[in-house]
Amino acid sequence: MSRFTDVDPDTKKMINEIISKDFSHLTQAKIKMIFDQKKRKSGGRYQLGKMQKSNDLIRYLTSREALDPEGFDYLMFIDENVFEVLDQADKVRLVRHLLQYADIDFEAEKPYKIRKEEVITWYDELEFNKDDPKWFQRLEVIAESIYNQEEGQDLTTEMTPDNP
């Protein structure tokens, strides 16, 4: 069984609505949305998702599904184990966070790019999440709880919007 699956239709619809509402520059981008079952960490922190621009091989391999000889422009990976237990607001927060990385420069030969983490990049994200600025730390606690279930630990109540 593969660790990767396509996102379900409701999740795909939600992501497309977020793109239409908050990321209009991405409406023409073709984004392959994928759930990932594997725990991912980088620098000791959980990676709950990832945006990746497509290389030539991925474009070729996805051309039929995208109904376009150029294939998909981006791959969006979402940690399914965490995503399935999140409430709707946190699902939206996570998707917005991932979409912040996608950038398009139509003047460039290869217009689809991934932004680096820079302070200026995150002004919109700070505005999106002003009602819950510690949302990402809370999601990491949820991820820790999910991936440590075999040890009998339950950290989901450790950090909530009411208990930062």
Domain assignment present for 159 = no
Domain assignment present for 89 = yes
**pLDDT band per the 50, 70, 90 thresholds, residue 130:** very high
Q: What is the 3-state secondary structure (H, E, C) of the chain?
A: CCCEEECCHHHHHHHHHHHHHHCHHHCCCCEEEEEECCCCEECCEECCEEEEECCHHHHHHHHHHHCCCCCCCEEEEEEHHHHCCCCHHHHHHHHHHHHCCEEECCCCCCCEEECCCCHHHHHHHHHHCCCCCCHHHHHHHHHHHHHCHHHCCCCCCCCECCEC
pTM: 0.87
Q: Quote the pLDDT of residue 81.
A: 96
The CATH number assigned to the domain holding 82 equals: 3.30.2010
Domain assignment present for 151 = no
**pLDDT band per the 50, 70, 90 thresholds, residue 164:** low
Domain assignment present for 153 = no
Q: Quote the pLDDT of residue 150.
A: 47
Domain assignment of residue 110, given as a range: 4-131
Domain assignment present for 16 = yes
User: Looking at the 3D structure of the chain, how many domains does it have?
Assistant: 1
